[in-house]
């Protein structure tokens, strides 16, 4: 299996190179040269780790089988508080796939627990002795999951940029208290889009890369622009499907609908790849919060970023420029490099692009789009709790609300533990949290959810703050040089 660049048909590299590079030199994204098929019958009776192996070996063909197995078993082990890593629950007339049982309490752990192993192994395969700098922009959850995954790994330095005012209190605390000698966390004055754009620009800055190269450094990414993030995210869709078969909710081969709370479009893209591999999914429901640019795009064919950036109670989805949409458009357009270049240039120059009617029709054949307003999200949290006793986090509540409108028995992907967004949840129940300590908030969430306080949060407000840098967006490259101590 080789990897090709969405923007340049001449670029073709191995998976280890694609993982190490993260982003192509021209800003394009690496995608598998073809989407392999899998017989789902082969997955019957397999455990999560075994399914991961079956899928990884189709995509990571320059990695040895034995090494893959080792990496999987190390990555998906005790850090997860559930034996089978992910948990499928029947809640009322819907299914909820809990993906937040990893160490940082969000679905980002599913991929970021293993990406560091992929990267170290890729460096070994390529005999690469450069120091790898992981540059990461985060809307809240990627940052912490990447920091945990990469902390204290030899030959790797990680720098995370998060929007100073754009993450929850727990998300911020998780990041600023991060331990590890190779971890760096910087708040930026701006939103996630600003952070993501600045990081992508740093990547594509030839001068900067040359300067770093002279000091033995090279960039890679832990964002979902890295194809090494995408591959692990396909596994849980297969797993969930097989669990539904096991529960007798569906027969093997019967098609399901999946609702995904979407931001940067990575998670739903993994579901789309799973469908192309042969998983019976009849509709992918792309659920947005009030930053509903994807809803508009799917429904009208026009992607227009010239709109207000809204801060919502589901901050990890507060995004207007969804990177992975490019990969989806590449597939759905029949892998048209030229069209992708035109659209991305349009986006850069005019802050918008559009697809023609025919392409829009094709998109609508696989995707249903909807969004949840802030009031609807709060209502979903409260009414689901009242009706079923289950406590949704605000991101999951967005997808749950949109799913409910499409019918019953839909698989809704749950991306975060309610503990990460306790204040917003309590506010949804009209509780005044202004005078509450974090411990009190957690206590209340434990009463509502009937799930004990996660170990990693027990003392978080007493942990030492290790990262207090703040910078403006324009200063990102300067900060990178300062952190790495390279002079120009
Ligand atoms: C990242 C994130 C999302 C959005 O996922 P994408 O892959 O960026 O679309 C949704 N919910 C939570 C809790 C997240 O951390």
pLDDT digits (tens, 9 = 90+) for 237-251: 999 999 999 999 999
pLDDT at 254 over 70: yes
Please report the pLDDT score of residue 63 as a whole number.
Answer: 98
From the CA of 108, give the closest atom in ligand 1. 15
265 lines ligand 1 (CB under 6 A): yes
From the CA of 262, give the closest atom in ligand 1. 9
In angstroms, rounded to a whole number, what is the distance separating the alpha carbons of residues 259 and 281?
11
pLDDT at 487 over 90: no
Q: Which residues share a beta bridge with 161? A: 137, 186
pLDDT for 113-147, tens place per residue? 999 999 999 999 999 999 999 999 999 999 999 99
Give the pLDDT band of residue 84 (cuts 50, 70, 90).
Answer: confident
370 lines ligand 1 (CB under 6 A): no
**Ligand 1 centroid, distance to 212 Cα (angstroms):** 31
Please report the pLDDT score of residue 204 as a whole number.
Answer: 87
pLDDT for 177-219, tens place per residue? 999 999 999 999 999 999 999 998 998 899 999 999 999 999 9
Please report the pLDDT score of residue 172 as a whole number.
Answer: 96
**Ligand 1 centroid, distance to 137 Cα (angstroms):** 13
269 lines ligand 1 (CB under 6 A): no
Please report the pLDDT score of residue 3 as a whole number.
Answer: 98
Q: What is the mean pLDDT of residues 308-322?
A: 96
**Ligand 1 centroid, distance to 416 Cα (angstroms):** 8
Please report the pLDDT score of residue 407 as a whole number.
Answer: 96
Q: Are 297 and 290 within 8 A, CB to CB?
A: no
Percent of the chain, pLDDT > 90? 96
In angstroms, rounded to a whole number, what is the distance separating the alpha carbons of residues 468 and 178?
11
224 lines ligand 1 (CB under 6 A): yes
Alpha helices in 215-264 (DSSP H): 227-246
Q: Which of 231, 264, 288 to mutate to test the pocket of ligand 1 (most atoms within 8 A of CB)?
A: 264
Please report the pLDDT score of residue 165 as a whole number.
Answer: 94
**Ligand 1 centroid, distance to 415 Cα (angstroms):** 7
Percent of the chain, pLDDT > 70? 100
295 lines ligand 1 (CB under 6 A): no
pLDDT at 488 over 80: no
List active site positions: 108
From the CA of 416, give the closest atom in ligand 1. 13
Please report the pLDDT score of residue 430 as a whole number.
Answer: 98
- The tokens for 284 are 């992918």
Question: In whole numbers, what is the pLDDT of the chain averaged over residues?
Answer: 96
Please report the pLDDT score of residue 387 as a whole number.
Answer: 97
Q: What is the mean pLDDT of residues 350-354?
A: 98
In angstroms, rounded to a whole number, what is the distance separating the alpha carbons of residues 264 and 319?
7
Q: Are 144 and 137 within 8 A, CB to CB?
A: no
From the CA of 224, give the closest atom in ligand 1. 7
pLDDT for 48-83, tens place per residue? 999 999 999 999 999 999 999 999 999 999 889 988
Alpha helices in 60-191 (DSSP H): 65-75, 108-112, 115-125, 141-150, 169-176
pLDDT at 45 over 90: yes
**Ligand 1 centroid, distance to 262 Cα (angstroms):** 6
Q: What is the mean pLDDT of residues 298-316?
A: 97
List Cα–Cα distances, 485 to 21, 169, 208, 282, 474, in angstroms.
22, 31, 13, 52, 18
List Cα–Cα distances, 92 to 120, 383, 384, 390, in angstroms.
43, 11, 8, 9
Give the pLDDT band of residue 228 (cuts 50, 70, 90).
Answer: very high
**Ligand 1 centroid, distance to 296 Cα (angstroms):** 19
The helix or strand, by DSSP H or E, that contains position 220, with its residue range, turns out to be strand 217-221
Q: What is the mean pLDDT of residues 449-461?
A: 93
pLDDT at 38 over 80: yes
pLDDT for 256-296, tens place per residue? 999 999 999 999 999 999 999 999 999 999 999 999 999 99
Nearest-CA residue for atom 2 of ligand 1: 316
Please report the pLDDT score of residue 327 as a whole number.
Answer: 98
């Amino acid at each position: 299996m080789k990897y090709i660049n969405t923007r340049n048909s001449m670029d073709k590299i191995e998976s280890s190179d694609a993982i190490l590079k993260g982003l192509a030199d021209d800003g394009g994204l690496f995608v598998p040269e073809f989407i392999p098929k899998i017989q789902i019958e082969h997955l019957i009776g397999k455990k999560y780790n075994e399914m991961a192996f079956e899928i990884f070996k189709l995509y990571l063909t320059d990695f040895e089988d034995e090494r893959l197995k080792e990496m999987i078993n190390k990555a998906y082990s005790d850090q997860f508080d559930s034996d089978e890593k992910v948990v499928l629950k029947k809640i009322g007339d819907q299914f909820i796939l809990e993906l937040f049982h990893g160490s940082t309490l969000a679905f980002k752990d599913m991929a970021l627990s293993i990406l560091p192993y992929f990267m170290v192994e890729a460096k070994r395969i390529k005999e690469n002795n450069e120091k790898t700098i992981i540059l990461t922009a985060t809307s809240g959850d990627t940052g912490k999951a990447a920091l945990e995954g990469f902390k204290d790994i030899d030959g790797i330095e990680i720098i995370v940029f998060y929007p100073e005012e754009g993450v929850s209190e727990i998300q911020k605390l998780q990041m600023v208290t991060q331990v590890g000698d190779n971890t760096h966390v910087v708040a930026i004055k701006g939103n996630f889009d600003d952070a993501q754009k600045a990081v992508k620009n740093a990547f594509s800055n030839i001068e900067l890369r040359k300067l770093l190269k002279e000091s033995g450094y090279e960039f890679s990414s832990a964002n979902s622009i890295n194809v090494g993030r995408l591959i692990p995210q396909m596994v849980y869709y297969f797993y969930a499907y097989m669990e539904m078969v096991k529960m007798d909710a569906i027969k093997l081969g019967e098609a399901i609908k999946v609702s995904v709370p979407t931001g940067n479009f990575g998670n739903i893209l993994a579901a789309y790849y799973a469908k192309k591999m042969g998983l019976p999914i009849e509709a992918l429901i792309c659920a947005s919060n009030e930053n509903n640019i994807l809803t508009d795009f799917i429904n009208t064919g026009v992607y227009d970023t010239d709109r207000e950036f809204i801060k919502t109670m589901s901050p990890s989805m507060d995004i207007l420029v969804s990177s992975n949409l490019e990969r989806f458009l590449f597939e759905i357009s029949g892998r048209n490099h030229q069209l992708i270049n035109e659209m991305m240039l349009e986006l850069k120059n005019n802050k918008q692009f559009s697809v023609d009617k025919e392409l829009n029709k094709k998109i609508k054949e696989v995707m249903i789009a909807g969004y949840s307003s802030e009031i609807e999200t709060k209502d979903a949290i409260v009414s689901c709790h009242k009706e079923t006793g289950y406590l949704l986090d605000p991101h999951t509540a967005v997808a749950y609300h949109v799913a409910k409108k499409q019918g019953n028995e839909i698989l809704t992907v749950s991306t975060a533990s309610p503990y990460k967004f306790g204040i917003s949840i309590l506010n949804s129940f009209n509780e005044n949290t202004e005078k509450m300590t974090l411990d009190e908030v957690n206590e209340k969430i434990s009463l509502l959810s009937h799930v004990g306080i996660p170990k990693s949060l027990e003392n978080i407000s007493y942990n030492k703050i290790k990262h207090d840098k703040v910078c403006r967006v324009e200063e990102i490259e300067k900060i990178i040089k300062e952190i790495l101590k390279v002079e120009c």
